[in-house]
Every structure is written in structure tokens, then in C-alpha cells.
Structure 1
Amino acid sequence: MTGRLAGVRVVSLAGTLPGPVAARRLRAEGAEVIRVEGPGGDILRTVAADLVDALVGDQQVIRLNLKEPADRARLHELLDEADLLLTSSRPSALARLGLTREVVAQRWPRLGWVAIVGETGERAEEAGHDLTYQAQAGLLGAGTELPRVLLADLSAAERVVTECVLALRQADLHGSGGYAEVGLVESARDLGEPLRHGLTAPGGILGGGHPAYAIYLARSGRVAVAALEPHFWARLLDLLGIGGTHAELAAAFLERDAQDWEAWGSEHDVPVVAVL
């Protein structure tokens, strides 16, 4: 496979979502990815088999029981030829398999190890999932509705890719890939920075406080409007022939179906789309 990471070999022990998403990105850039699963496979497959297939379809999947010496020896052979190691288990669980920072650095000095944890540092052993990480980061709305996007998982996956590239660069410059932790809580907290500064908070400019950035009911469906720039905003109001209040825009968008408004927005170069 050709690509910017052609010739790079990745061994991934990282299951569920952030690790596989990151590994797919690396694979798309040309890296060879060897995915190591336990004897029972990835638990995510029991609830979202199609998703797992989409993530790992072009990777080499090997099932090993790392509690067995022979299978641990096979993993070591894979690491002998690897440039990057991805993990998502607790540090204590990896230590029981002989994977500690000291051991890895001594045996595979050029190997870059990127470890996905719930939170970096002393809280790396604490259990959690995307929902608890978003809760800790203050990203959940009022009430009990669950988030539709796994923000902590997916943003962490992007950080994993970045850390992998940095590890490869460090190995080229200094001969040591090193170790890096990616915390899901930290990833979620960074996503919440605009909220903490009021930008997307209720009543903020991107939180319902400006009629140029809002969702409106259409005759059928809904439309999302993001005409923040002055030239978009002026053009929108001029084309609709209205003033700039929420009420005026709400009344105007009831005149057509959402898909018709999307076509209208494309025709007139105004950011208006149907909400899927």
C-alpha cells in the first residue's frame, strides 16, 4: 500500500472504539496494521459488528491469548518488527503481560507506544466509557438524553494519530519512539473549551443567542442556518426580504420544505441545509 506512512508497521492491542478509529486512519495513510484481539474477539463486535468490520476490514487480525506464554512470545515477535504499539488497557493489566514502560523501552527502544487511558497520570486505572468522560468534561446537556456522538472516543482517536506521528518523528531524530498517554477525559475537556468560554453556552452566539446561527422549523423538516459572516447574513436577509429577528426568520422558513431550502441555500451561496 502506498501513502505517507508506507513502510510503517503498527501493532494494535487497542479494542473498542478510539484505538480502531486511530488505526484505520494510520492504515489509510499507508501503514500496515496488525490488530491483536483476545480469543473472544473485540467486545464491540457483539453490539456493532458492521462498525467493527468497517474499522478493521483491511487490517491483519490475529487472535492471541496473551495469558499464555507462547502467545505472548508471538506478540513479542510482532513487536520486534513494529514501529508503533497502540494499547487501551489499564496500565496494571498491561504490566501483568510484561508491557511496562521500562521493559518496552529496553527491549524495543525505537518502538513508539501510544497508550489510550481514561485519564492520564494517577487516574489512568479508573474505569469509564465515553458517557462518563463527557460527564466529567461537562459536555452533557440537561436531563437524561444520551449524546448521539461519542465525542471523547473520537477526539481521542485523532490525538492518538498525532502522537503516533510524533513518535515516528522522535524515533527518526533520536532513535527512541518513547511513550505517550492519550486521556479520554482530557480530550473531552478540550472539546468543551468553547462552552466554558460561553461561545456555545445557552444564549451564547453559537448557543441560540444569534438568529444567524440557529435551527428553524420548515414546512416539513428542519433547517440549520449558519450565516454568521456579515456578507452571508446580509444576503440571507435581503433574499428573504425580512429583518433580523428569530421570529422573522422562523416565519420565513415555514414557507418551504427543508430540502427545498437546502437547494435554495446552495443556489444563493448561503449556509442553509436540511437537518438530517
Structure 2
Amino acid sequence: MHPTDHTTTALQPLQGIRILSLALNLPGPAALLRCHQMGAHCSKLEPFAPANQASADPMHAYSPAAYTQLHDGITLLQANLKTEAGQALLQQQLAQTDVLLTSFRPSALAKLGLDWESLHTQHSQLCMVRIFGSTHPEEADHAGHDLTYQAEAGLTDNGQLPASLFADMGGALMASEAVLQVLMARARSSAGRCLDVGLAQAAQWLALPRQWHMTTAQGDVGGAHAGYRMYRCQDGWVALAALEPHFAQRTCQAIGLTDCSGSIAEMRTAAVHAAIEAFMLRQRCSQIAAMAAQSDIPLQLIADYHK
């Protein structure tokens, strides 16, 4: 599925808004792409690329495909902000910018003259969204990455790397939300506003279901409910999400447990877990998917689970 949100794209709430980003890696570019999809004119100012490299953004080295997709429709500029020429280009851009997006630590912003107090004095209507590792003042300058923020939030298990960069992508969504917030505040006051987004806080927000024990082994969406589990079939795996009683009852009826009402208490029992597990093991994934479609049961076939 393409990451574009077609509803947001159709609304184009940021049409006519100009956003300049200095943010590298993933959260800033992902947030900028979301803003572009909402209609904003988006530019990104990168450092000059080293010799034999297409971009100074580390994301290009990690994943050229990701870099290309993240910058689709984004105007790319290059400058050395530590030089007079670079600062002149930056000031020229800021004079026609509505929102500045950054991902530097506070100390680095100050060295570049990009602390909020200085910017607000020079450009009173400019808004700013700053992506930090953490919004706690004593932690904003600490080194960190997605993995450390997820680990702090309790989203890592048994030494396994997370399935995705949840802190970065969650932070990107919060940053694009913050763009809307500062613009709405400016519309009421006619003065620029500044908001901070912490990747650690994004990870903690995503971890709330775990903190509520919903996704732990004893939670109903953590494996305790037989209708909400990954099941092995003959030729792969399926993800079953029959959580609500009516979906759970349909699942039980489809596998032959006709006396099961699908209540949460019943779906937590070892007998129901064993019955569904045994049924799934006897079927091919395509057979299970066909059964689920016929009975209107939430299920996703994952035939290439181990590939």
C-alpha cells in the first residue's frame, strides 16, 4: 500500500504553506513528506554532499530507495550553514517560509543562530517545529536513536530488534501534527509559534497499550485471547484478529466449536486456543483465508512469514 493518505491529500489543508526543513535521517524527512502530501510547498536544505556521494543525508547511505521516496516532490537545496554564504541562503529562504523544521540538538541550533528566540526576533511570523531526542530539557542534548527510545519505552523484547522504526515514524507523525498546531496558533495570534517533538515521547506514546498490559502475554491483544493471535497453517502463517465476540463466535463456528459464544472468558481458555491451533495446522493458508472471507472474519494470510 502506498503511504499516501488519500483523504488528507484530497483535503490539501497545507496548500499555500511553505515549509523549510533542515532535518536529516528519517523523522524530519518523513514529516516533511506528510506535509507535502497535505499540499505544502516543501524544501529541504542539506549540507553539501561529500565527494562520490549523492547526498549528505545519512539516509541516502542507509537506504537509497527510502531516501528517494521520502524526497519525492521535495525541493532540495544545499548549503554550508557554517559559512556566510550558507547563512545568507538560509535567511533568504526563511524570509519566505511559514514553518521551519529541524532535528538538531539544542546546542547545535544555538551555534547556528537557530535558537527560537533569535529566529522569532528576526522573523516574527515564522513558526518552528523542533524534533529532539527527548523534550525533557535535561535530556534534549543526549545522543540517541530509534532503538534507544524504543528500549526506554519498553518496546524491545529478548534482544530482538524492533520490526520497524516506530519512534522515528511516530515522531514524524507528531511533527506533521505539530506543523498544523503552530499554524493554527499563528492564525489566531498573527505571531509565529514553536513546538518541540520528542522521539522518546513518541515511543512512549506508542508503548501505552503495553503499559496498560494489553499487549503483554496476559493481555487480550498479546496472545491471551485465542481470536487474536498468529497461527501456523500447513504452508505458512495467518494473523487472526477475531477480537470482538461476534467475530470470535464466527471463528469458533467455522472450525466446529458450535457451542462457543465467543465471549472473552471462553476465548481465553486453553481448550479454545488448542482447538483453533489444531484446526489451522490442518489447513493450507489459502483455505483458511477463503473460510475467513466467507464468514467475514478479520484474518490476513502471511504465506511468506519465514522468507
- Place the TM-score, normalised by the shorter chain, in its bin: over 0.9
- Three-state SS of the structure 2 residue aligned to 1:39 is coil
Aligned to 1:166: 181
Q: CA deviation at 1:259?
A: 3.2
For structure 2, which runs of at least 5 residues remain unmatched after alignment? 1-8, 50-55, 261-266
Residue number among 125, 129, 140 corresponding to 1:110 in the alignment: 125
Deviation at 1:202, TM superposition (A): 1.5
1:253 counterpart residue number: 280
Contact 2:254 2:291 in 1 (8 A): no
Letter of the 2:283 counterpart? R
Of 155, 158, 161, which residue of structure 2 is paired with 1:139?
Answer: 155
The structural deviation recorded for 1:118 is 0.4
Distance 1:17 1:73 in 2: 26
Give the aligned partner of residue 20 of structure 2.
Answer: 11
CA distance in 1, matches of 2:125, 2:288: 55
Displacement of 1:110 after TM fit? 1.4
Structure 2 counterpart of 1:22, which letter?
A
Letter of the aligned partner of 1:274 in structure 2? Answer: L
Kept in 2: contact 1:259–1:273 (CA 8 A): no
Of residues 221, 224, 242, the one that matches 2:236 is: 221
**TM-score, normalization: structure 2?**
0.87
Secondary structure in 2 aligned to 1:128? coil
Unpaired stretches in structure 1, ≥5 consecutive residues:
none
TM-score (norm 1): 0.96
For 1:69-148, list aligned pairs within 5 A. 69-120=84-135, 121-142=137-158, 144-148=159-163
2:295 partner amino acid:
H
Alignment check: 8 A CA contact 1:85 1:113 kept: yes
Match of 2:168 in 1: 153
Aligned residues of 2:13 and 2:39 also touching (Cα < 8 A): yes
CA RMSD of aligned residues (A): 1.4
The answer for the alignment partner of 2:52 in structure 1 is none
Structure 2 CA distance, aligned partners of 1:106 and 1:62?
25
- Give the letter for the 1:127 counterpart: A
Q: Percent identity?
A: 36
Letter aligned with residue 191 of structure 1 = L
**How many angstroms does 1:177 deviate by?**
2.4
Alpha-carbon distance in 1 for matches of 2:117, 2:247: 56
Task: Choose which of 250, 269, 272 in structure 1 pairs with 2:296.
Answer: 269
Measure how far apart 1:73 and its partner are: 0.9
Corresponding position of 1:197:
212
Using the alignment, how far apart are the partners of 1:56 and 1:83 within structure 2? Answer: 19
Q: Give the deviation of 1:239 after TM superposition.
A: 1.6
Q: Which moved more, 1:238-247 or 1:181-190?
A: 238-247
Q: Distance in 2 between matches of 1:181 and 1:91?
A: 11
